[in-house]
Structure 1
């Protein structure tokens, strides 16, 4: 008896978000989900913070400018609460389309925001609602942190072992190794756009970060789906109110890719300023050949020399503590008699 390795079509989004408009963004998300499902895709991946779009204002000017322009308030108000009608509409649309979706979003929880990736099953149920472990650089002025439970790979029926990370989490060697060690087969590498600070910050550019996605595929011996957003003219008009801000960002920046376990590009890229969906047919059986050559968390590892320590416990900011009265040294019966 031989193993059965799933084969199916994947879809990777390269598109501009409907920036700072959650309802319209969900409309566009549902359109893309339905388009991918109609094309026979079983899995669709969206860019980082696709809803309501990446907060480019945090890179463009001082915090006082962001507040005065209304960006801080609008970004919070248009982020997604999982316990909301908007979230229910999204999960319902995924269920109706019969496709598994990995949606990048700004998660609103209480008074805080988190950089989230919501993995929704074809039945419309939540497989995972992860948070970016450590927001990058100025992102920490807007978003809170995830925890070790967010470094997880999930067995999805018919699709294999699915995992996801955001943006520069792909430059964190230990976080990557934690994912590899869980025998990840299909990885969603969500990116915002490669238009910011170009060309004077190569580390933020498409060449470096496409390379990070490609290396992840080879190191992890897995398929990498790397959706990427496009910065639209409307976003530039909203963000750039002075000539110096026009020098910081530009229309385009879309560089979505799909890589196989050997690092091969499975589809041609779209022009950086165009919107569309990349499709590829994948066969998880080819992972066997890749891992036969090098399995960094398996036979190619040396745990006697180097090992990873990971805390998978979910972070709980509030603990409810109940202390019996007699722990205070009070005899309640005697106290009552003295009254």
Structure 2
């Protein structure tokens, strides 16, 4: 495992509703990050084909045109777009954490893939529960995607957007000794003055993840330009009705919650870089390790079912651990005798 790791976070605009254009831009950014010396490059939530801002901007009956285009430009895990991106990771010898809308049959999922420097997919996960209006377009996942993996760079994991305010999901990640975390976000703050969706609130949640988890957090975000907003026009052909511009807040936080990068302007495309010294995690966790020495399992514990779930079971899958029930009650935690 590498002790020092150079990482890059993407702050850029996708080619909205265009799988081919955004795939090309992805490959260019992978090459740029590698040229900048990065061992890892992180992309935003649903980077391909861009976050579906139309879900929040239009009544349902006006969304159908965009829904059809969104399906047509979403990524299949074994399709041409993913193959090209995997080849770019291999050619540049860089780990890529990609956010994308994944199409499987007639359903879409808000997915992330960790692609190793040899081009192999090390982790393929889906957002556990899409947020609010997202549930009209995307399906849910299961606990198998709440996972931290071993890589030559360290123990690596990823979550999307409002998964960073789900306390139990975060705790399941912390318990797996995550060292480098990728936080994928869409454009922040472009949907008007909603406090829960403000950049300040969402960056505070991301920074809190670094502090609680004792991990480095690589935050990637999209931006939306005036031209991009006109892909989703209002009745007069102007930008999407609630568009406020910008939205880029790429950041990298240390395990003590310190900001390690100089922010770009919210409307500026680019990469932010940081060199991570993984030994600093031990110092951070020496003070606070919520799933380790700072835990109180005799008071509160998390029940975490990380088994994959499918809507159809074949006869060979009807036995064994896949169908094993969870216990109705939990055993008592051992207690230290009182002297």
TM-score (norm 2): 0.91
| Structure 1 residue matching 2:77: 3-state secondary structure | coil
> Corresponding residue for 2:258?
264
1:89 is displaced (CA, Å) by: 1.0
1:196 is displaced (CA, Å) by: 3.1
| Structure 2 residue matching 1:103: 3-state secondary structure | strand
> Corresponding residue for 2:204?
211
Figure out how many residues of one structure are paired with residues of the other and give that number.
Answer: 315
> Corresponding residue for 2:242?
248
> Corresponding residue for 2:305?
311
Question: Would you say 1:51 and 2:48 are equivalent positions?
Answer: yes
Instruction: State the alpha-carbon separation in 2 of the partners of residues 308 and 20 from structure 1.
Output: 39
Q: Deviations over 1:200-255 (max 9, x none)?
A: x1110100000001000000000000101001222211213237975511220111
Instruction: State the alpha-carbon separation in 2 of the partners of residues 237 and 245 from structure 1.
Output: 4
> Corresponding residue for 2:68?
73
Instruction: State the alpha-carbon separation in 2 of the partners of residues 76 and 246 from structure 1.
Output: 20
Question: Would you say 1:170 and 2:170 are equivalent positions?
Answer: no
Instruction: State the alpha-carbon separation in 1 of the partners of residues 304 and 190 from structure 2.
Output: 33
Note the 1:1-339 alignment, pairs <5 A: 6-67=3-64, 70-157=65-152, 159-199=153-193, 201-242=194-235, 246-321=240-315
User: Is the 8 Å Cα contact of residues 195 and 231 (structure 1) preserved in structure 2?
Assistant: no
User: Is the 8 Å Cα contact of residues 57 and 240 (structure 2) preserved in structure 1?
Assistant: no
Q: Deviations over 1:239-274 (max 9, x none)?
A: 132379755112201111110001100011100011
| Structure 1 residue matching 2:231: 3-state secondary structure | helix
- Of the structure 1 ranges 313-322 and 15-24, higher mean CA displacement relative to structure 2 is found in 313-322
Instruction: State the alpha-carbon separation in 2 of the partners of residues 299 and 242 from structure 1.
Output: 57
Instruction: State the alpha-carbon separation in 1 of the partners of residues 38 and 315 from structure 2.
Output: 48
Instruction: State the alpha-carbon separation in 2 of the partners of residues 284 and 48 from structure 1.
Output: 25
Q: Deviations over 1:81-106 (max 9, x none)?
A: 01212211111111001000000000
User: Is the 8 Å Cα contact of residues 75 and 100 (structure 2) preserved in structure 1?
Assistant: yes
Q: Which has the larger radius of gyration?
A: 1
Instruction: State the alpha-carbon separation in 1 of the partners of residues 21 and 239 from structure 2.
Output: 26
User: Is the 8 Å Cα contact of residues 131 and 162 (structure 2) preserved in structure 1?
Assistant: yes
| Structure 2 residue matching 1:41: 3-state secondary structure | coil
- Structure 1 stretches of at least 4 aligned residues deviating more than 3 Å after TM superposition: 242-247
Q: Deviations over 1:313-337 (max 9, x none)?
A: 1011111238xxxxxxxxxxxxxxx
Unaligned runs of 5+ in 2: 317-339
User: Is the 8 Å Cα contact of residues 190 and 246 (structure 2) preserved in structure 1?
Assistant: no
Instruction: State the alpha-carbon separation in 2 of the partners of residues 211 and 242 from structure 1.
Output: 35
Instruction: State the alpha-carbon separation in 2 of the partners of residues 73 and 235 from structure 1.
Output: 18
Counterparts in 2 of 1:89 and 1:246: CA distance versus 1, 3 Å: closer
> Corresponding residue for 1:328?
none
| Structure 1 residue matching 2:207: 3-state secondary structure | helix
User: Is the 8 Å Cα contact of residues 49 and 101 (structure 2) preserved in structure 1?
Assistant: yes
User: Is the 8 Å Cα contact of residues 148 and 311 (structure 1) preserved in structure 2?
Assistant: yes
Instruction: State the alpha-carbon separation in 1 of the partners of residues 144 and 59 from structure 2.
Output: 33
Q: Deviations over 1:61-100 (max 9, x none)?
A: 1121011xx2111100100001212211111111001000
Q: Deviations over 1:177-205 (max 9, x none)?
A: 00000000000011001133322x11101
TM-score (norm 1): 0.91
